[in-house]
Amino acid sequence: MENAIKKYWPVFLLPTLAAFIIGFIWPFIWGIYLSFHKFITVSKTTFVGIDNYIKVFQDATFVDAFWFTARFTLVSTILINVIAFMLALALTRGLKGTNAFRTVFFLPNLIGGIVLGYIWQILLNGILTNLGLPLLALDAKYGFWGLIILMCWQQIGYMMIIYIAGLQNVPGDLLEAASIDGATSFQTLIKVKLPMVMPSITICSFLTLTNSFKLFDQNLALTSGEPAKQSQMLALNIYDTFYARSGAQWKGIGQAKAVVFFLLVIGIALIQLYFTRRKEVQQ
Amino acid sequence: MAKKVYHDGAVSGAKRIVDAALILLLVALCLVWVYPVFLILINSLKLETAISTTTVFELPLGEKFVGLSNYIYGVTQMNFLSSFSYSLIITVTSVLLIILCCSMCAWYITRVNTLASKLMYLLCAFSMVVPFQMVMFTLSKTADTLQLNTPFNICIIYLGFGAGLAVFMFTGFMKSVPLAIEEAAMIDGCNPLQIFFKVVFPILKPTAISTAILETMWVWNDYLLPTLVLDIKKYRTIPMAIQYFRGSYGSVQMGPMMACIMITVIPIIIMYLACQKYIIEGVVAGAVKG
């Protein structure tokens, strides 16, 4: 059977493989190659060694963007997961209207980042003006919290759905055993439910961490880095380096930034998976 | 969905009070959740001069109310219908192509056990973590060189960049499908193509729906890839049009802008309410595989 299928590889494997090479493998390898070069057009490149990488770390906007992104990722990951988990607990109690609540909380996920950004820009600027405070684009502090609120609004519903599925898979006999042994509902939560939904926590924290770290559309639409790049996140900083700065060196530096960004994402993802996987229990 | 309520003995008064308080809290939260969209809706019905950051919370009453004129102006200014059709073409072709090619690829790499299969699987998993910024510049150059820069063939780029998730989800499901049925079909004289389309694909259908939903959510809302690949003067998808509308005007006309946001959001809400069950199942399936 295996050999019969193997003969059909041009039909089964080739289309995806070809597109994958065009859409991912080749741009990826070429990107690494270009990060060691200085260029304006890709047809004329000069090798500069690790020069671009040195300049990446000398670029203050990149370092600032890194810290902004790191703070944002930390705060949003914690807030989203805690709130989503609490909502999931509330919605697995068999309350009236559970489905309606779930529907409403999930809704913002389907709206794209650009549109979300503008919706919240209008709302938050309205609130800030009425409180007599500066607009979003004038103070990076409000830009930061605006992005946090937006991200919570968008992602909580998605994570809640995953937590609900996790909580519903906790075996009933475990909960029954706990209640016969006289466990309070708080003890059941900490000692039974939490360890049993650890796989969901792994997935949700992985998704929120990488989504927050890679955030682009929302950042562009809500503040577009204003004021003076102070609310710029890494993805937007890279985009800005490529397309908004003139000068022969910037494209190479932009590509080097992209490689650094990629390594950071991989690093964070691996560390996170290592720590949460350790806490998972075998069922 | 089975409801599981665990408590000792009869429903106690305390639990009833807690539940009532929770419901109240959830209702309040729901209002907060819906409010941003409601705010855009009321402002999209206002007279242009009545919209400012200080009056944004006021209802469109009396002479401030202009009916649908912002919508008409916004749709014509933004050329919304052509944007909508470009978005639709790109999403439909990309998602169909991804489902077809990736399910075939996933079947091949689970059933044929070679180094190439393993490598393909690992690369797909790897590509899911790589941020788009890593490849955005070189990808847009590659797309230009290969002339894959119109709404009609950009789906090939989407197949390449979206293959990771789809192949990953399909192989995750394929591994649990027993070989016996396929072998029976083989003995009955089917060739691999017939086996795939008559036997395997029907089994894969639930996964195909989940994958299609996740990919649709991505492609429909994607902003950066089409911006870099397509010619913005000729082709604008909906996210591109919104960003362009906002970014290019000296003073943004808020009324039409909000009308445009509303006509982008309304179809999404209708779609969501219509296939909510599949969307939520798709999200759960995606999370379990991921």
Distance between CA A282 and CA A195 in Å, rounded?
A: 10
Question: Closest to A4 (Cβ–Cβ): which among B179, B192, B220?
Answer: B192
In the predicted model, what is the mean pLDDT of chain B?
A: 85
Phi and psi of B65, rounded to 5°? -80, 125
Question: Closest to A158 (Cβ–Cβ): which among B26, B161, B283?
Answer: B283
Best mutation target, A2, A3, A5, to test chain B (most B CBs within 10 A): A5
- Residue pair A163/A88 in contact (Cβ under 8 Å)? The answer is yes
- Closest approach of B123 to chain A, Cα-based (Å): 9
Query: For residue B11, what is the DSSP state?
Result: P
A265/B131 touch (CB, cutoff 8 Å), yes or no: yes
Asked whether residue B289 carries a pLDDT value surpassing 70, the answer given is: no
Angle, helices A250-278 vs B115-129, to 10°: value is 100
Identify each DSSP E strand in B143-250 by its residue range.
none
As a whole-number percent, the residues of chain A with pLDDT over 90 amount to 35
Phi and psi of A38, rounded to 5°? -105, 130
Convert the pLDDT of each residue in A178-229 to its tens digit.
888 888 888 888 888 888 888 888 889 988 998 999 999 999 888 887 787 8
- Residue pair B135/A31 in contact (Cβ under 8 Å)? The answer is yes
Domains of chain B: 13-67 (no CATH), 79-248 (1.10.3720.10)
pLDDT at position B87, please?
Answer: 92
* Cα–chain center distance at A245: 26
DSSP string, A101-158: HHHHHHGGGGS-HHHHHHHHHHHHHHHHHHTT---GGG-HHHHHHHHHHHHHHHHHHH
Convert the pLDDT of each residue in B225-269 to its tens digit.
999 999 888 888 988 888 887 766 556 777 888 888 888 888 888
Cβ within 8 Å of residue A267, ≥6 positions away: none
**Which residue ranges make up each domain of chain A?**
52-278
B146/A22 touch (CB, cutoff 8 Å), yes or no: yes
Asked whether residue A55 carries a pLDDT value surpassing 90, the answer given is: no
Convert the pLDDT of each residue in A63-109 to its tens digit.
999 999 999 999 999 999 999 999 999 998 888 888 889 989 998 98
Q: Which pair of tokens denotes residue A34?
A: 């270009």
Q: Which pair of tokens denotes residue B236?
A: 């604008």
pLDDT at position A159, please?
Answer: 93
In the predicted model, what is the mean pLDDT of chain A?
A: 87
Interface residue A189 vs chain B (CB under 8 A): no
More confident residue, B48 or A161: A161
Name residue A37's beta-bridge partners: A47
Shortest CA distance to B67 belongs to which of B255, B235, B261, B281?
B255
Distance between CA A228 and CA A240 in Å, rounded?
A: 12
Distance between CA B192 and CA B108 in Å, rounded?
A: 10
Convert the pLDDT of each residue in B68-123 to its tens digit.
888 888 888 778 888 889 999 999 999 999 999 999 999 999 988 889 899 999 99
For residue A37, give the 3-state DSSP assignment.
Answer: strand
B159 neighbourhood in chain A, CB within 8 Å:
15-16, 19-20, 23
A 106-145 residues inside an 8 A Cβ radius of B: 106-115, 118-120, 122-123, 125-126, 128-130, 135
Best mutation target, A24, A44, A232, to test chain B (most B CBs within 10 A): A24
For residue B2, give the 3-state DSSP assignment.
Answer: coil
- Residue in chain A nearest B257 by alpha carbon: A118
Kindly report the length of chain B: 290
- Residue pair A237/A154 in contact (Cβ under 8 Å)? The answer is no
Q: Which amino acid, B31?
A: L
pLDDT at position A283, please?
Answer: 46
A16/B101 touch (CB, cutoff 8 Å), yes or no: yes
A104/B30 touch (CB, cutoff 8 Å), yes or no: yes
Question: Closest to B182 (Cβ–Cβ): which among A1, A30, A105?
Answer: A1
Shortest CA distance to B106 belongs to which of B185, B204, B181, B218?
B204
Distance between CA A170 and CA A281 in Å, rounded?
A: 12
Average pLDDT over residues B275-279: 84
B148 neighbourhood in chain A, CB within 8 Å:
22
Distance between CA B290 and CA B288 in Å, rounded?
A: 6
Give residue B67's region: left, alpha or beta (phi > 0; psi -120 to 50): left
Peptide bond connecting A227 to the previous residue in cis, omega within 30 degrees of 0: yes
Best mutation target, B22, B138, B254, B263, to test chain A (most A CBs within 10 A): B138
Q: Which pair of tokens denotes residue B10?
A: 């009869």
- Closest approach of B90 to chain A, Cα-based (Å): 15
User: What pTM was estimated for this model as a whole?
Assistant: 0.87
Phi and psi of A37, rounded to 5°? -125, 160
Distance between CA A85 and CA A87 in Å, rounded?
A: 5
pLDDT at position A126, please?
Answer: 87
Average pLDDT over residues A116-142: 85
A120 neighbourhood in chain B, CB within 8 Å:
36
Shortest CA distance to B207 belongs to which of B166, B263, B261?
B166
Average pLDDT over residues A166-187: 87
Asked whether residue A37 carries a pLDDT value surpassing 80, the answer given is: yes
Name residue A108's beta-bridge partners: none
B33/A135 touch (CB, cutoff 8 Å), yes or no: no
A27/B135 touch (CB, cutoff 8 Å), yes or no: yes
pLDDT at position B88, please?
Answer: 92
B204 neighbourhood in chain A, CB within 8 Å:
none
For residue A38, give the 3-state DSSP assignment.
Answer: strand
What does R_g of chain B's alpha carbons equal in angstroms?
A: 24
- Domain A52-278: top CATH class: mainly alpha
Convert the pLDDT of each residue in A136-166 to its tens digit.
778 888 889 999 999 999 999 999 999 999 9
Average pLDDT over residues B118-147: 90
pLDDT at position A281, please?
Answer: 61
